[in-house]
Amino acid sequence: MTDPADPGTPVLRLHQVTKTFGEFTALHGIDLEIREGEFLTIVGPSGSGKSTLIRLMVGMDELTAGEIWLRDQRIDQTPANERPTCMVFQSLALFPHMTVGRNIEFPLKIRGVSPDERRQRALELLQLLRLPDDYYDKQIGQCSGGEKQRVALARALAFDPEILFFDEPLSALDYRLRKTLEKELKDLHARTGKTFVYITHSLEEAMVMSDRIAIMRAGRFEQIAVADEIYARPVSRFVAEFMGEVNLFEVSLSASGEPASELLDINVSGGEYPWKNRDESGLLMVRPEFVRFLSASDTADFVVQGSLQDEYALGSRIQYEVVSSTGRRVTVEKLREDRYLGAPGDDVILGWDLEHTHLIAEA
Amino acid sequence: MGASRTTRIVLVLYGLLAIFLLYLPLVSITFASISRARYLTFPIKRYSTDWYARAIESSTVSDIVTTSLKVAVIVTLASMVIGFFGALAFARYQWRYRGLFQKLILLPIFFPQTVLGLALLMWFNSIGVIPSWKTAVIAHLVWIAPIATLIIAIRAYSFDPALEEAARDMGASTGTILREISIPLLMPGVISAGLFAFLLSWGNFPLSLFTTGADSTLPEWLYAKMVSGYSPLVPTVGVLSILASAGIIILALVLAKLLRRRAGTA
């Protein structure tokens, strides 16, 4: 795993990459630097352009404008079969007419590696992916979903790419298997030290595995940062909402940066605000897990009053929906052991502190 | 809910009747081929396999079978190749007017074969080509290659384009992808198309009638013998022709099964 704070050496650089399909522009001048050995996840909703982007990076499609550089070599005109990159497809694209062993050996066969060496390498990779040796002769059709996933990974690793791309390979699997494979992928990344670029629409997958996350929206990057940074300090309403449940309050800011809102009772002592925005409007953001139920004697930097509307059990957590007198919904999440002991219909006071509050510049 | 006993009996009888009607002509010609009498009468008084010996020894029959076989084999191989690349072009690539082209290519299947045969004969004459078994190959291809394309395309449409992309991504050239991925995966479709092509060509009468010129194929010869000078050689050669077709079908089914097993989809 790379140090997220260290910019590192870029192994792949995209400069003003644009892709259009007729009148439709799928990617608008994308700039991106992928660091050596990092696990970068590109997340975005359907149609955001992430699959188009990955296809350009591996050379499956031609870009309309821009440049792609692999270290000091420009590769955007290099055909896919001459690039030192490899992709694990969403459908896995395992060859159904070949055994597990022949699938894994395929990239080695293309390179003219001898049958004995190919077999040896395939067996090593089966071991690395925790598959028994006798799977070498197994037909692909006889493998389970998780096993197929591992075979696809083994085949991609046999290619020994400089960068390994993943196009939502876990999306078709059930929840349990997906969770197991997310951890295995992260572990595999650590063990191989290779650069992984993963695309998904699942935020959870991105959070579990990545060194950095890039959020895409309508053919542009909204934010690229480490997971904690994106979660705690999103740059836009879209990113804040995409990264999970969030409470956003429209505020106006004074010359000292002090927020003002009709809904919130703000009692920040000292009047020191961490944001630089002044004389503007913005969105104050707090994640539901940082919102507390207050008693009449409790204090908090930001306070809002309302009525408890509903509660939802989310496994180990409980989510509460509180509606203010102006009809504004506020979401609160508590661990099951810290659950609120009242009932829907209760008048409640909610509060949170400045340290868990983030200001998004857009109003 | 299960069917009542009466319903079951009616269904079985209906099935047997259908099979009887389908196979009655074949049974009739088989009896005709082993009857010593010149014309088939029931009950058969004397059985003989003499006509089979005569058919095998006859140089005319041998020439006719050779011509038919030449036409059918060339049509089969050409249809498989044309159908394979045609199916790939339709299923794998996006190009302008693809839909229109696809309809135009498949249209000859629906033309009446006699009209198609006549049109081809007129065309051959107009360009100064003397009709022979070679022109029959072209005529058969005009009708059969689209059918082969259609059969292979069904398979081509069902296979994931990501398989070819994955192979390319791992360094494979177009030739290697064709050899290692596309051909093996489309092979069951190609075999089926080849089987159909052979049988359609082997048994074709209307197109051959107009386009073989002085040469003659098996169905043409059978027809000619029927209308002028019937002998038990006609049903005998007919039975041998059916046996050859059945042999081809069995061979193709075995081959397709082996391929499916190899592909792990059996």
Q: Two tokens at B88?
A: 């790939």
pLDDT at A2 > cutoff 60: no
List CB contacts (< 8 A) between A85 and chain B: 169
Place of tokens 């590769």: A75
Based on the fold, state whether residues A269 and A234 are members of the same structural domain.
Answer: no
Reported as a single tens digit per residue, the pLDDT across A135-146 is 999 999 899 988
Out of A58, A86, A96, whose CB is closest to B263? A96
Cβ-defined contact of B170 to A107 (cutoff 8 Å): yes
Last residue in a domain, options A238, A262, A280? A238
In a domain? residue A141:
yes
Q: The domain containing residue B96 runs over which residues?
A: 49-262
- Tell me the CB-side half-sphere exposure of residue A59, using CA atoms within 13 A: 22
CA-based nearest distance A281→chain B, Å: 48
Shortest alpha-carbon distance between residue A163 and chain B (Å): 12
Indicate whether B53 and B41 sit together in one domain: no
Predicted confidence (pLDDT) per residue in A22-53, tens digit: 999 999 999 999 999 999 999 999 899 999 99
Identify whether A340 is part of a domain. yes
Does residue A316 lie in a domain region? yes
CB-based contact B171 A60, cutoff 8 Å: no
Residue B182 and residue B158 share a domain: yes
Number of H helices, E strands in chain B: 12, 0
- Regarding whether A138 and A286 lie in a shared domain, the answer is no
What is the predicted pLDDT for the residue at B1?
56
Task: Report which residue type is found at A221.
Answer: F
User: Hey, are the CB atoms on A97 and B185 less than 8 Å from each other?
Assistant: yes
In this structure, the answer to whether residues A102 and A209 fall within a common structural domain is yes
Mark whether A110 and A15 lie in a shared domain: yes
Contact B171 A91 (CB under 8 A): no
Q: What span, in angstroms and rounded, lies between the C-alpha atoms of A356 and B49? A: 100
- The pLDDT tens digits for B97-156 are 888 888 888 888 888 999 999 999 999 999 999 999 999 999 999 999 999 999 999 989
**A80 or A326, higher pLDDT:** A80
Q: Do A229 and A261 belong together in one domain? A: no
User: pLDDT digits over A305-348, tens only?
Assistant: 999 999 999 889 999 999 998 888 999 999 999 888 888 899 99
Whether residues B174 and B90 share a domain: the answer is yes
Q: Do A155 and B264 touch (CB under 8 A)?
A: no
Position B45 scores a pLDDT of 74
Task: State mean pLDDT over A43-64.
Answer: 94
Q: What is the CATH number of the domain that holds A344?
A: 2.40.50.100
B180 in contact with A, Cβ within 8 Å: yes
First CA to last CA distance, chain A = 37
Q: Is B166 on the interface with A (CB under 8 A)?
A: yes
- Claim to verify: residue B175 and residue B209 sit in the same structural domain: yes
B129 and B110, same structural domain? yes
Contacts of B180 in chain A (CB under 8 A): 95, 106
Q: Which chain A residues touch B168 with a CB distance below 8 Å?
A: 60, 79-81
Do B24 and B60 share a structural domain?
Answer: no
> What CATH number is associated with residue B83?
1.10.3720.10
Average pLDDT taken over every residue of chain A? 90
- Chain B residues whose CB is inside 8 A of the A107 CB are 170-171
Say whether A91 and B170 touch across the interface (CB within 8 A).
no
On the question of pLDDT at B265 being above 60, the answer is no
CA A111 to each of CA A114, A140, A195: distance values in angstroms, whole numbers, following the listed order: 9, 23, 22
Nearest CA in chain B to A142: B264
Compute the residue count for chain A: 363
Asked if B31 and B103 sit in the same domain, the reply is no
Which residues of A are less than 8 Å from B260 in CB distance? none
Residue B263: which of A59, A97, A159 has the nearest Cβ?
A: A97
- Say yes or no: B71 contacts chain A, CB-CB below 8 A: no
Same domain, A110 and A214: yes
pLDDT in tens, A251-277: 988 888 888 888 888 888 777 788 877
A 47-76 → B contacts, CB under 8 A = 58-60
Backbone angles phi, psi at B51, to 5 degrees: -65, -30
State the Cα–Cα distance between residues A122 and A113, nearest whole angstrom. Answer: 12
Q: How far apart are CA A181 and CA B83, in angstroms?
A: 42
Q: Would you give the DSSP letter of residue B182?
A: I
- Residue B265 with chain A: CB contacts under 8 Å: 96, 141
pLDDT-derived band at A5 (thresholds 50, 70, 90) equals low
Does the pLDDT value for residue B19 go beyond 60?
A: yes
ipTM surpassing 0.85: no
- Report the alpha-carbon distance of residue A231 to residue B111 in Å, rounded: 66
**pLDDT for B27:** 85
Q: What percent of chain B shows pLDDT beyond 90?
A: 49
User: Do B64 and B176 lie in a common domain?
Assistant: yes
A281 touches chain B (CB under 8 A): no
Contact B176 A140 (CB under 8 A): no
A349 is in which domain, residue-wise? 245-360
Mean pLDDT of A210-227: 94
Nearest to B165 among A60, A111, A139 (CB): A60
Give the mean model confidence (pLDDT) for residues B73-88.
95
- Which of A238, A253, A270 delimits the end of a domain? A238
A3 lies in some domain = no
If you ran DSSP here, which 8-state letter would residue B3 be given? P
pLDDT at position A221 over 60? yes
Q: How many structural domains comprise chain B?
A: 2
Q: Touching check for B185 and chain A: CB below 8 Å?
A: yes
**For residue B40, what pLDDT is reported?**
63
CA gap B228, B234 in Å, rounded: 11
In chain A, residues 74-103 whose CB comes closer than 8 Å to chain B: 79-82, 85-87, 89-91, 93, 95-97
Which 3 state secondary structure label does DSSP give A151?
helix
Residue A1 lies in a domain: no
- Within this chain, do residues A34 and A54 fall inside the same structural domain, yes or no? yes
List the alpha helices (DSSP H) in chain A: 50-58, 100-110, 115-128, 145-158, 175-192, 203-209, 227-232, 237-242
**Cα A7 from Cα A226, distance rounded (Å):** 12
Mark whether B146 and B199 lie in a shared domain: yes
- List Cα–Cα distances, B167 to A30, A86, A103, A122, A159, in angstroms: 27, 10, 10, 17, 11
What local confidence, expressed as pLDDT, does residue A272 receive?
A: 76
Strand ranges for chain A from DSSP E = 10-21, 24-35, 39-43, 65-70, 73-74, 85-88, 163-167, 195-200, 212-217, 220-225, 247-253, 259-260, 265-266, 281-286, 292-294, 302-314, 317-324, 329-335, 347-352, 358-360
Q: Which of A198, A200, A222, A219 is nearest to A19 (CA)?
A: A219
Contact B165 A95 (CB under 8 A): no
Say if B260 is an interface residue toward chain A (CB within 8 Å). no
Inform me whether the pLDDT recorded for B95 exceeds 90: no
For residues B179 and B104, state if they share a domain.
Answer: yes
Nearest to A95 among B171, B173, B181 (CB): B181
* pLDDT tens sequence across A85-128: 999 999 999 999 999 999 999 999 999 999 999 999 999 999 98
Distance CA A34, CA A41 (A): 10
The CA distances from residue A17 to A8, A98, A167, A220, B43, in Å, are 22, 37, 19, 10, 86
Choose from A57, A94, A95 for mutation: most chain B CBs within 10 A: A95
Instruction: Kindly state the tokens that stand for B120.
Output: 């081809």
CATH number at residue A82: 3.40.50.300
β-pairing, A317-324 vs A302-314, is antiparallel
pLDDT tens figures, A147-196: 998 999 999 999 999 999 999 888 777 888 888 888 888 988 998 899 99
Same domain, A153 and A267: no
Residues facing A197 on adjacent strands: A40, A165
B72: CB partners within 8 A, 6+ apart: B197, B198, B201, B202
Contact A80 B265 (CB under 8 A): no
What type of residue is A183?
K
Q: What does the pLDDT read at residue A177? A: 81
Whether residue A210 is found in the same domain as residue A314: no
- Nearest residue to A298 (alpha-carbon basis) of A260, A263, A349: A349
A175, A281: one domain: no
Q: How many domains is chain A partitioned into structurally?
A: 2
**In DSSP terms, which residues pair with A358 in a beta bridge?**
A285
- State the burial class of residue A69 (Cβ atoms within 10 Å of its Cβ: 0-12, 13-18, 19+): middle
Mean pLDDT confidence for B21-27: 87
Q: Are residues B18 and B104 in the same domain?
A: no
Residue B58 sits in the same domain as residue B34? no
Residue where a domain terminates, one of A180, A208, A238: A238
CA atoms of A306 and A303, how far apart (whole Å): 10
Mark whether A222 and A304 lie in a shared domain.
no
A83 and A197 in a single domain? The answer is yes
